[in-house]
Structure 1
Amino acid sequence: MPALLILGAGWTASFLLPLCRQHRIPFAATTRSGSNSTIKFHFDQNSDDSEPFKILPDANTVLITFPITNSGGSKRLVQLYKSTRAERDLNPAFIQLGTTSIWGNEWYDRHSSYNPDERSDAEDELLALSPGTPTTVLDLAGLYGGERTMKKWVGRVAPTKEVLRNKGSIHMIHGIDVAQAIIAVHNGFSKADGQRWLLTDGRVYDWWDLASAWGSGPVDASDVSEDCGPQATWVRELMRETGVRALPRSNETLGRVLDSREFWETFNITPLKGRMED
């Protein structure tokens, strides 16, 4: 029996599966296509048909990587999974991956009020199943790592000086740290049960700082033969216009600032990628 069942083996799984192997955690994973030795599975949020769930293996922890947005969807997934193995004495735990976008401006931590939407409502629905069913939500900051590098996004995020003028903070977390967070929760679920967590790498990044350093030119930082784009010039001009003397700007200027310390302290781990460099 796999200890961990990953529903939706996408980008996160590229970091999680190797770490599971390293920690000798048995796992199984699903995809819509069933490719690469995964189980073919699709969750219809509006269907009460248990048939698709019968093919899924029993597991101690079920990780839901895709968003659930329909009312009743979270409860339906849990009930259908558990009902298809009701004859066995199992009470699996469920982890839902979410997003930090529900929090607004100023300083926020996981206890702060947030702006509810369909996705957070579904997460609340999942959390409400605890303690009868162990559940938790990991709300993730922007994801990077592997082929997903923020250097590729500067030109899209700041295509003009006026767009860049209004860019403030950005919070990130590397895929390997998402993976180690999932394993930490899996190994110590009682610490997480019934709670929503906020996960970043512990830093607050300034879009002006990133745009100044990277621009919209070559992704390979060693390639100085090509123009790195106009963003660095725009940043210098904006600093003069707004009276910013050095980068990064202060937290008071950046707007939204997220505090994720409690998760790392609770599980006694530290981000392996404590600073975004790629």
Structure 2
Amino acid sequence: MSNTHVDLLILGAGWTSTFLEPLCKERQVSFAATSRPENPKPDTIPFRFDDQDEHPDRAQFTALPSAQTVLITFPINAAGASERLVRLYEDTHRGHAPAFVQLGSTGIWGVGWVDRHSPYNESNTRAAAEKELLALSPATRTTVLNLAGLWGGPRAVKHFVGRVAATKEALKARGSLHMINGLDVARAILAVHENFERAVGQRWMLTDTRIYDWWDLAAAWGSEQPQDGGGERNRSQGPQGVWVLELMKEAGVRALPRTPDHFDRALDSTEFWRTFELAPVMARLE
């Protein structure tokens, strides 16, 4: 077993870690992170978990430091794999009682106004694996954070308008959008880490508490088509603004953004922020 100890072990140093690691340094939370051996990242530990492999290499787990909280950033889909990962880590780090956080997606919930207690798609393999992880509580402290759409850094929602609303018909079908910035994801993870007793055995929904309207966004940003000459004054926003005006007339919508009763789906994540006494600091997709 590695003789090092950290506050937070990040299994999978991906996009989330670009926000989480700087925040850990700022708050003096010690951490370590892993990356795949075939695609190593600087200052990370080689680690690869195959959820289909029923007999993973114990040496990979032994090389990991002990941690107060283990964050699993990659999806797990195979039945039995969530418990296998937890037990292998516990078996190779005896004498410690780590807590485990799994990152998931709000895509498991259906239509209507929904919150973390609403029924979700139990046939979803990822959701089933998360349920398996939660079932380990309270003997092993576990929790799941189901994240809305991620933005921040190079991920800007305005860059997706041309892709998701390439035609008027495609735009007509677009309703609500729920997002969360990487900084607020990082803040949420550390809030759970510091107050895990509030999270044990719970599945949480995480958005920035807003419902965005694709028509509103498309009208404001368009498809960002730069014209000859460059610069903002020579930037065409594509046809989306005109399409939105036409759609508003057809649907009897008098102003943007549309209200939630126009949408099939609306997410309420306020319970998380109240429970951990936080509020999102990054919103409005700017």
Per the TM superposition, whether the score is higher than 0.5 is yes
SS in 1 for 2:284: coil
CA distance in 1, matches of 2:199, 2:59: 30
SS in 2 for 1:143: strand
SS in 2 for 1:59: strand
Aligned-pair Cα RMSD in Å: 1.1
Which residue in the other structure is 2:32 paired with? 28
- Partner AA of 2:41 in structure 1: S
Alignment deviations for residues 194-241 of structure 1 (CA, whole Å, 9 cap, x no partner): 00000000100000000000000159xx71312111111100110111
Is the CA contact 1:106–1:252 (under 8 Å) kept in the aligned structure 2? Answer: no
2:267 aligns with one of 258, 270, 278: 258
SS in 1 for 2:236: coil
Alignment deviations for residues 58-117 of structure 1 (CA, whole Å, 9 cap, x no partner): 00100000000000010010011111123xx11100000000001111100101111120
Alignment deviations for residues 163-189 of structure 1 (CA, whole Å, 9 cap, x no partner): 100100000000000000000000000
SS in 1 for 2:253: coil
- Partner AA of 1:163 in structure 2: A
Which residue in the other structure is 1:98 paired with? 104
TM-score by length of 1: 0.96
Which residue in the other structure is 2:63 paired with? 55
SS in 2 for 1:193: coil
Which residue in the other structure is 1:9 paired with? 13
Is the CA contact 1:7–1:63 (under 8 Å) kept in the aligned structure 2? Answer: yes
The correspondence of residues 64-213 of structure 1 with structure 2, limited to 5 A, is 64-86=72-94, 89-116=95-122, 117-213=124-220
TM-score by length of 2: 0.93
Q: Which runs of 4+ in 1 moved over 6 A?
A: none
| Superposed displacement of residue 252, structure 1 | 1.0
Is the CA contact 2:134–2:142 (under 8 Å) kept in the aligned structure 1? Answer: yes
CA distance in 2, matches of 1:218, 1:71: 45
Identity of aligned residues (%): 57
SS in 2 for 1:224: helix
CA distance in 2, matches of 1:144, 1:226: 23
Runs of 5+ consecutive residues of structure 1 not aligned to the other structure: none
CA distance in 2, matches of 1:250, 1:226: 30
